[in-house]
Structure 1
Amino acid sequence: MRAFRYYDFLVAGMVAVLLCSNLIGPGKVCTIELPLLGAFSFGAGNLFFPVAYIFGDVLTEVYGYARARRAIWAGFGALIFATVMSAIILRMPPSPDEPWNATLQPALEIVFGNTWRIVAASIVAYWVGDFINSYVMAKMKLWTQGRFLWMRTIGSTICGQGADSLIFYPIAFYGIWTNDALAAVVVFNFVMKVSVEAVMTPVTYFIVNRLKRAENVDIYDLDTAFTPFSLADSGVRRRLDAE
């Protein structure tokens, strides 16, 4: 098993972005004024999306599906831990000796006290969406023989974010929002995220090319078992200096 120079840093960054998007993002809805379009409202968690999917695409493209799978499981474990600890801390009685607790406790409950439906939807949607994104990107790399990176990043995002949106919003809000509102939000978020992925393609190209040269490797998942339930390292490494 080869050690990589930057893989651990990318995993750490991916986990940090995931935790921020799920712990900070859901607590706020933002509204901005757009020229010609007027007021535009969106969940703050969407701000993390471009960074999160760049991490996922780069990990799969440079290090292969098996290494990306390990990163997804690391993020899944971190998300479960953060969710459990948030619930425990919120339910612990605040000290009556600290006057500011009377203000702090309700604020913490508003920001971090998501309902069980939102928590479950977030965890399941992340797990399914990220694995689909990584799987599609790795398979498309084999089909295209490593060409057309833009096609792989956008195609994998269409599949991964399609699954993510179809899972998250119905689990979290079905029966609370009207069916029309639910469908509109699903479609809007899907279109927005695919559009952002397309716009961010040059950034992904730049990072992928720099990392491949720095690691001197380009991994193809020719011998990889594509089950998500494994932590095995695999993939055929092609050294760039041998090409």
Structure 2
Amino acid sequence: MFNLLWGAAFVLVNFMFFLLCYRLFGKKGLYAWIGVATVLANIQVTKTIDLLGITTTLGNTMYVSMYMASDLLNEKYGPKEARKAVWFGFFTLIMTTITMQMVLLFQPTATDFAQTPMQQLFGLLPRLALASLTAYAVSQLLDVRLYAWIRKFFPKRHQLWIRGNGSTMISSFIDTLIFCSIAFYGYAWGIWLELLFTTYILKFVLTAAGTPVLYIARNFRFIEEEGQTLKP
């Protein structure tokens, strides 16, 4: 029960930071959020927790917030800006993976305490990064296309929830399937299936929970952006 209650608080805090990042920094804040969230999600996913008797990984909130950011960019600034943000996140993860692997190769001093925990945490990053990079690139670019496609049929302002949930729930399943297939390759079939199922269900729930956040964020206005023509 503690994990469930603490998880709800964790989601709330993450969504509040998402809104604050956009409110304070505008479009640039969404780019920054995607970059940071990409890295944090891949660190958090190394931790497994028990949630109502089911084993699942952390990182799902951050993954969903990346979809929220790209959908918001798509909604307010067009698919070109959304795709640019996706590639920025892709670059950020590659940069983090390479630099942290170089950090691990430095010989620590006899009094160093960080090498072992860093090795345990970031030593997994190449495999996780391969899984994430593949899943991220495929699913996020798919999400941008799906959002723009769904928008043709549901273009009205109040139909944001259809565009956002429709594109994200499809693309996040692809993301989860690719990630679990690579990151957890070799695991017992039952464990792999459980991780796949629980991870996607959590993303599904979090996507729905994040919908009001998107409606709030869409109403933010920035002086420097007023009068700009947004390309569909």
Q: Does the residue aligned with 1:47 lie in a helix, a strand or coil?
A: helix
Q: What fraction of aligned residue pairs are identical, expressed as a percent?
A: 28
Q: Which amino acid aligns with 1:192?
A: L
Partner of 1:61: 75
Instruction: Give the deviation of 1:116 after TM superposition.
Output: 3.6
Q: Which amino acid aligns with 2:169?
A: I
Task: Describe the superposition over 1:156-208 as per-residue Cα deviations: whole angstroms up to 9, x where unpaired.
Answer: 11221011011001111122x12232122212211221121112211111111
| Distance change in 2, residues 1:115/1:201 (3 Å) | closer
- Tell me the TM-score normalised to structure 1 length: 0.76
Partner of 2:149: 139
2:88 counterpart of 1:74: yes
Question: Which among 165, 173, 192 is matched to residue 154 of structure 1?
Answer: 165
Partner of 2:26: 6
d(CA) in 2 for partners of 1:11, 1:111: 26
**Alignment coverage as a number of residue pairs:** 206
Q: Which amino acid aligns with 2:61?
A: L
Q: Which amino acid aligns with 1:65?
A: P
Q: RMSD of aligned C-alpha atoms?
A: 2.3
Q: Which has the higher helix share?
A: 2
After alignment, is 202-211 or 165-174 more displaced? 202-211
Question: Which among 48, 59, 63 is matched to residue 45 of structure 1?
Answer: 59
Partner of 1:35: none
Answer with 1 or 2: which has the greater Rg: 1
Q: Does the residue aligned with 2:49 lie in a helix, a strand or coil?
A: strand
1:30 touches 1:42 (CA, 8 Å); kept in 2? yes
Instruction: Give the deviation of 1:71 after TM superposition.
Output: 0.7
| Distance change in 2, residues 1:184/1:145 (3 Å) | same
2:128 counterpart of 1:109: no
2:113 counterpart of 1:93: no
d(CA) in 2 for partners of 1:40, 1:186: 12
Instruction: Give the deviation of 1:20 after TM superposition.
Output: 1.4
2:138 touches 2:175 (CA, 8 Å); kept in 1? yes
Question: Which among 35, 39, 58 is matched to residue 19 of structure 1?
Answer: 39
d(CA) in 2 for partners of 1:213, 1:187: 44
d(CA) in 2 for partners of 1:132, 1:104: 39
- Tell me the TM-score normalised to structure 2 length: 0.80
d(CA) in 2 for partners of 1:170, 1:128: 14
After alignment, is 73-82 or 50-59 more displaced? 50-59
1:31 touches 1:41 (CA, 8 Å); kept in 2? yes
